[in-house]
Structure 1
Amino acid sequence: MPETFEQDYTLQQLKQVTKALNSGQFVQVRRMLAETAPCDTALLLESSPHKIRTLLWQLVDPDIQGDILEELSEDVRLGIIAQMEPELIAAATEDMDDDDLGEVLRSLPEPVYQDVLSAMDTTDRQRATQALSYQERTAGALMNSDTVTIRPDVSLDVVLRYLRLKGELPDGTDDLYVVDKDNCFLGSLPLSTLLTNSPDKIVRDLMDLEKEAIPISMDESDVAQLFERHNWISAPVVDDNKHLLGRITIDDIVDVIREDAEHSLMSMAGLDDEEDTFAPVMKSSQRRSIWLGINLLTALLAAFVASFFEGTLDLLPILAVLNGIVPSMGGVAGSQTLTLVIRGIALGHINSANQRFILGKELAIGALNGLLWSVLIAGVIAIWQWDFKLGAVIAFAMFMNLLAAGIAGASVPLILKRLKIDPALAGSVVLTTVTDIVGIFAFLGTATWFLV
């Protein structure tokens, strides 16, 4: 696969920085880092082995350390923060946006978090406390308080003079939010409307009343779906009484979408989506061992089922050769269904109103695939072994397992979701257990009854 521009650029940076470090040219490295954007420096740190990363961080200008911490994955951030004094962490987080400040502080161990709070001044401590008061992975945790508000009864000329007095607008501002005297959200005034209408017109007559405000407790994945559906650049966040609390911008939503995609991908392998690629061997090994242990238990369970048919395997050794075919086909078919259903749940396409249709559809697909491939495998085995009974046995087992794979692939993620268990994390384990046990039992059980 060809490297992307970003990958190639980071590779060249890494080579240059590593060469300079090996040559002891620390001043040159410091200059290179100062000329690099914080997001690129963060990517460079994440792409560096632990020892090089430690050296690089020591050469980063303290004035931009906060900007870099915002961009780092949690595992890498924790590793870097572990090298810093609480006073330096407090200084680095001083100019962070509220949502980034909350994310960084939440990732800290409790003792370090308390020390960092103590090292902050009163204003930053209050801001941090407010940011941490919102539940993680909700609209409140994504929100920034840097809104520009106006009243509905003023003219556009007054609004323009007010903006000139402010001197600058927060990044990502596309709307001004209209509020009443109690700071309740009434609507929004797009900047395009402000700039293209007569200054004499009144805000109330031009404001967008259909702009949807996001409840502060809404899950961040639901917020991301709203942004995607409406093509928003920003959106207001309100409490239960419609008081305007802040806004969410598209850059934060991009992070949510990327994190959700990484989470789904990594969870299917039992890995943490924030795991550091260059984490120490022992740390990575411990994390992966948990998943391997779970898979070992499921494999032992399948072997336990097969042990009931030892006599049959002794009498017909060919069954041992063919025994892996049925579970393997069921596992592949079930994984296809599982992936599609998990994707549908993540995108909000699958809900309580259409679950029965999905289950019926996947049952029909399982039956159709089961019929097709059972006939095919029956013909192959009958010709290969010249045993039509054996072909019929494996055909029946194949049909039953593909049917079970379709049902399990569709129902397992829905059941796990209802139990508030991440389907991406646990779905594949449950599915593999089902297809292995059903496949072995259907094949060896039918063979025992029909051939022995």
Structure 2
Amino acid sequence: MPERSEQEISQKRLLEINTALESGMFVYVRKMFQHMPAFDIALLLESSTARSRNVLWQLIDPDLQGEVLEELSEEVRKGILRNMQPEKVAAVAEGMDIDDLAEVLRTLPDSVYKEVLNSMDSQDRTRVEQALSYEEDTAGGIMNTDTITLRPDITIDVILRYLRLKGELPEATDSFYVVNRQDKFIGSVSLADLVTARPEQPIAEIIDYDTIAISVETEESEVAKLFERHDWFSAPVVDENGHLLGRITIDDVIDIIREDAEHSMMSMAGLDDEADTFAPVIKSTQQRSIWLGVNLITALMAVAVSSMFEGILAEMAILAVLNTLVPSMGGVAGNQTLTLVIRGMALGHIGDNNARIILNKEIAVGFLNGLIWALFIASIVAIWKQDILLGGIIAFAMLMNLTVAGLAGVATPLVLKKMNIDPALAGSVILTTITDVVGIFAFLGTATLLLGR
């Protein structure tokens, strides 16, 4: 028998737990949670209704709740934290990584957030306040301060004895960072070099001085690109004076990449990337109504253009039948280009230096595609209606609209980016409006000129 996928196993667990909850078998559910990793518990919470989540949360071991919070999406996490007392939030926060804790605290109302900070000991409070002082979407906002630093004049033997005495390493440790007495970053020493070097060697002899440090103000998307480019497992973070502040590990970068992918996918539909699948009906309706309203306004613009040609539409019913064809093809072609350009911008492939090249290329692609499908649809319409002129009209409109779609598919995201508007969020609506208006105007306008009586 083939092995079941992780998703199938999770769905089976969810069904089993829901059945146990309905039967009042709370002790059984609590025992199940004791043998489940935090990620799976978080997945179960996100796959449950808001009512079930509150019950499930109470059954999770308090020592595990912090790890589960780290794995939850922002919207689900907010719903759980909203029902917790500040002192309980502070208790759950104990043992959480500073970067994850800072992310959790940012989702709390100001009053609760301050109470949670006051409930912490002074050392933890200082570390969290420092993490919160950096912008959320920067290296400072995602870095972890849990790192071991070395001095260049210490011998390998001293370091190894210290590590044995400490008994554990921070998670995802592949390198140690070397600093001077002013805590300025000098370089790194890999764990492999440390355990294979001669005990009497000083750290200075095995330092990698070429290690790249990330500025604390670097945007998280740029951090992800650096990790991808250099195949890093971890990287140091420094301030403007070169002082070591912390480190970023690959697990944080994976979260960034996943969030960016979810953001792009959800934004295309006008949804928040942290949207709760099982949010209440009223809340989901409110979130989606705004975007539906925007789409309605843009659709009315296309209707307004069509209404300008009521006369010719009344005379020739076939024009009303064919009127949807040209905007539809333009919309598909434009969205192909739009998706390609947004992806290129996200990967850093497209910028001011090569924007004109991609613009000319996509206009040419749009023109050639327009030519191909214009001839195709013209032949079909001419044979179907025995009207070569009608075939020529729709061919011209198709050629015009697909060419404009290529132009708009490149120009729209570039202009939105210049205006600091997310192209993934607004690009599709603007593009569809352009292709609808141009397609309808080109088709019905040309028909009015050549066929109007």
Provide the rounded CA distance (Å) in 2 between the counterparts of 1:208 and 1:450: 75
Give yes or no for contact 1:46–1:276 (8 Å, CA) kept in 2: yes
1:237 is paired with a residue of what secondary structure?
strand
* Residue number in structure 2 paired with 1:300: 300
What's the CA shift string for 1:362-403, capped at 9, x where partnerless? 011011101111111111110011111111111010001000
Check the 8 A contact 1:367/1:399 in 2, yes or no.
yes
Shift of 1:163: 2.0
Tell me the equivalent position of 2:25.
Answer: 25
CA distance in 2, matches of 1:419, 1:3: 50
SS at match of 1:276: coil
Aligned residue type for 1:211:
T
Indicate yes or no: 2:191 matched with 1:186: no
Match of 1:116?
Answer: 116
Identify the residue that residue 12 of structure 1 maps to in structure 2.
12
Q: 1:106 corresponds to which residue? A: 106
Number of the residue aligned with 2:132: 132
Deviations 1:335-382 (A, max 9, x none): 100111111111111122211111111011011101111111111110
1:407 aligns with 2:396: no
* Residue matched to 2:448: 448
Structure 2 residue identity aligned to 1:428:
S
Q: Does 1:56 align with 2:68?
A: no
Task: Confirm whether residue 371 of structure 1 aligns to residue 371 of structure 2.
Answer: yes
Q: Which residue of 2 aligns with 1:209?
A: 209
What does residue 230 of structure 2 align with?
Answer: 230
Displacement of 1:33 in angstroms is 1.2
Matches within 5 A, 1:220-299: 220-299=220-299
Task: Return the offset for 1:124.
Answer: 2.6
Closer, same or farther: CA 121–155 of 1 in aligned 2, 3 Å: closer
Q: Specify whether residues 282 and 3 from structure 1 end up closer, same or farther in structure 2 by C-alpha distance, changes over 3 A only.
A: farther
- 1:113 CA drift (Å): 1.6
Please identify, of 62-71 and 160-169, the stretch whose mean Cα deviation from structure 2 is larger.
Answer: 160-169
Which residue identity does 1:445 align to in structure 2?
Answer: G
CA distance in 1 between counterparts of 2:440 and 2:28 reads: 64
TM-score normalised to structure 1 length: 0.97
**Helix, strand or coil at the partner of 2:210:** coil
In the aligned structure 1, how far is the partner of 2:131 from the partner of 2:5?
A: 36
Q: Report Cα offsets for 1:6-64 as digits up to 9, x if no partner.
A: 21121111111111111111111111112211111111101111222111111111121
Question: Percent identity, aligned pairs only?
Answer: 61
Whole-angstrom CA distance in 1 between matches of 2:16 and 2:125 = 40
Q: Aligned pair in 2 of structure 1 residues 37, 285: CA closer, same or farther (>3 Å)?
A: same
Distance in 1 between residues matched to 2:155 and 2:393, nearest whole Å: 82
Q: Which has the larger displacement, 155-164 or 315-324?
A: 155-164
Task: State the partner residue of 1:395.
Answer: 395
Moved more, 202-211 or 26-35: 202-211
Give the drift of 1:174: 0.5
Alpha-carbon contact 1:99-1:142 (below 8 Å) kept = yes
Of 320-329 and 347-356, more deviation after overlay is shown by: 347-356
Residue 143 of structure 2 corresponds to residue 176 of structure 1: no
SS of aligned partner of 1:198: coil
Between 1:28-37 and 1:156-165, the stretch displaced more is 156-165
Offset of residue 211 of structure 1: 1.2
Letter in 2 for 1:317: A
Q: Give secondary structure in 1 for the equivalent of 2:83.
A: coil
Whichever residue aligns with residue 224 of structure 1, its letter is: A
Q: CA deviation at 1:158?
A: 2.6
1:355 alignment counterpart? 355
2:302 alignment partner, SS class = helix
Unpaired runs of 5+ residues, structure 2, are none
Q: Secondary structure at the match of 1:123?
A: helix
What's the offset of the Cα at 1:3?
Answer: 11
Q: Per the alignment, in what secondary structure is the counterpart of residue 189 of structure 1?
A: strand
Equivalent-residue separation in structure 1 for 2:146 and 2:56 (angstroms): 32
Aligned partners of 1:63 and 1:92 also within 8 Å: yes
Residues 278-287 or 162-171, more deviating? 162-171
Offset of residue 4 of structure 1:
7.1
Cα RMSD between the aligned structures?
A: 1.4
User: C-alpha displacement at 1:116, in angstroms?
Assistant: 2.0
- In 2, are the aligned partners of 1:101 and 1:131 still within 8 Å (CA)? no
- Alignment partner of 1:269: what SS? coil
Equivalent residue number for residue 322 of structure 2: 322
Q: CA deviation digits over 1:272-320, x for unaligned, max 9?
A: 1111110000000100111110000000011011111111111222110
- TM-score under structure 2 length normalisation: 0.97
Say whether 1:85 aligns with 2:85: yes
Distance in 2 of aligned mates of 1:122 and 1:151:
27
SS in 1 for 2:209: coil
SS at 1:95 equivalent: coil
Shift of 1:114: 2.4
SS in 1 for 2:278: coil
Residue 4 and residue 440 in structure 1: after superposition, are their counterparts in 2 closer, same or farther (change >3 A)?
A: farther
Separation in 2 of the partners of 1:209 and 1:382? 73
Q: By how many angstroms is 1:257 displaced?
A: 0.5
Of stretches 294-303 and 191-200 in structure 1, the one that deviates more from structure 2 is 191-200
CA contact (8 A) 1:132 1:141 kept: yes
Equivalent-residue separation in structure 2 for 1:162 and 1:21 (angstroms):
49
Aligned residues: 451
Amino acid at match of 2:379: G
The residue number in structure 1 matching 2:75 is 75
Q: Which moved more, 1:174-183 or 1:324-333?
A: 174-183
Aligned to 2:94: 94
2:386 corresponds to: 386
Distance 1:202 1:122 in 2: 36
Measure, in 1, the Cα distance between the counterparts of 2:383 and 2:337: 31
